[in-house]
Structure 1
Amino acid sequence: MALFTLATMAETTEDGKFDTDKKRLVELVEDLKRYNAAQQAEIDMFERYISRLDPQTQSESFETASQMEMATSPGRKTKVRTPERQQLLTPEQKCDIAKSMHKQMTQDLRRAKLHSERELDNYKATLEENDIHLAEVKKECCQFDRDIGKALRDKKCVTMSAEKVIKYIEDKVKAKENLIEKLHQKNAGLLAYKKKLQIQLKQQEEMGEGLTALDFEQLKFGNMKCRKRLDEQNLKHMELKLLAGKTLHVLNSEKEKLQTLTLESDVLSSDIALRTKLLVKMEEETKQAEKERNKAEALNRKLRGQLADFQVPHVLQYIKVKESHSQLQKSIREWERKVEIGEMSLKTYTKSWDKLRIAAGARPIPARLAAIDAGLYGF
């Protein structure tokens, strides 16, 4: 078919349609390439499928394929096909092959994932082991530097440091040997325990093979007892849960009461502190009032004593004293008037004197000096 189309395309080129035929030729070649690629993919998938099958399954699959091909051609007589003739697969067979290949690939991916996870765990374990080994090496280096490195840095004790190094190495070797022996003993104990468990497992398997109907009945009876006990324990567990809920509720209520009481106690304690402060202040005030009362009582006693000793003068003596007092007040008023008059006259005299001094060309007397002069002269 392809050769026929190519021949027709060559004839058309002679008629002058070279460009359009070239495009068609290119498109045809691309279609053939895509068809060949799809056929090659199917062939590769079928080859992988056949390579995974056993020879017996291969022959059975070929027989079923030939039977299906003969059954799909109605109206034809059944003929024995020669192995030289090409056997084509039906879409159902291709779908079955694709499904089996997909299942096999998913299994392969799962196995590869498990293998990679196992390898990753192994690598992580090796890294952890290397980290532990590195930490041990660092620790040993620090101990060696602490115990022997300081002595080696000192040049005076070289022989002593060599003996220390040998002793240190021997001690470390002995410690490692003791650790190896302990690990061997532990490993031997674990192996013995493993053998014991394997023997017990075999015995249980053997006993399980030799069980009878009576044993099953006993097991059923024991199972029933265990179920009854389990039900009782479940009931007890539910009762305990209910009791725990009630106790929790009571505990929460008591906690709330305790919180309120603590708040009240805080308020009362603050009130008590204030009351105590007020009481101290009142006690101080009472002491001060007591002192003032004592002073007042002493003064009152003194005044009462004076009042008891007081004698009222005679009326004529009182009149004379009163008259002398009025005369003295009158004389005081007269002298005050005279002083005012003297001050007024002094002011007038000082003003006239200042005018005369200014007219004569002298400086006026300051007010301070004038006051001094007035005081000296008794004005």
Structure 2
Amino acid sequence: MSDEDSETPATELQGGEENELPIIQLCALVEEVSYGNSALNTETEMFEKYYNKLEPTGQRHPRLSEIKVMGAEFAQAIIEEAEIRWVEVQKAVYEFKKDILKTIPKKKGSILATQKMIKYIEDMNCRRDSMKDKLRLKNVSLKAQRKKMLLQLRQKEEVGEALRDVDFQQLKIKNAQFLETAEAKNQELVQLKLECGNTLQILNTYKSKLQRAVDMSIHLDKEILLRKELLEKIERETLQVEEDRAKAEAANKRLCRQLAEFRAPPVILYVREKIVTGDLEKTIKMWERKVEIAEMSLKGYRKAWNKMKTTNEHLQAICPPGK
């Protein structure tokens, strides 16, 4: 699709802005623009696929099987192109409905709808132009890259460094050797991983044992500290007991010495003291009896005194003085 074709809808809309195109024609124009954009994208992708499939080893007549394969690939590319185009069309329709149809009023001949539609198409044209510029630059770079690759290949063929079947066989042999080496290394790596796993398991076991030993050591340190404190307390009590024992031994020796020095008094002196003690006890009992009698007399006197005092107060209350 050329630039003139892409600019035709925009010019028609700008020229017929006063005629106010209906929404159906606007939708058709939008679909045409989106179809052109998808066609450009698909052509670019097909060109890239075709360029990637080029064989720069020279021209040769294709075989029947190669022609069939190329036909199948071409059909697959056409199917992929159709699917991509269909997805892009659905996306464009959804965006058009979302941005244009749902925002414009439903009244026919609306100037606002026409302006929005023109702005939407202008934006689409700008995006398409920018896409065309990008694709043109990409096409130029791909052509330059292809030319460079062909030149390098021609130089290699001239020098005689082109790969042959023997070289391919040698490369296959080396590749097989490298694959065997890689397989052996992979087996060794698997074995090392297993050993590493076992080592980690053993390490975790020893770590748990070490943790238990550390906990036990901390517990034993606390127990030793408590036992030391208890031992110090016992030593202090032992010293106190030794001092008490020394005091008790000294008191015992003193009492033993006093007991050894004690002499019993004569019997006559004991009898005399006993008689004196009996007389004193009798005297004490006699005086206690006298005290009891005196207390009883005192109680009688107090009672009589209180009675006389009460009578006197009663008389004074009946006959006050001065009358």
Please, what TM-score do these two structures have when normalized by structure 2? 0.49
Larger RCO, structure (CA 8 Å, separation 6 or more): 2
Please, what TM-score do these two structures have when normalized by structure 1? 0.43
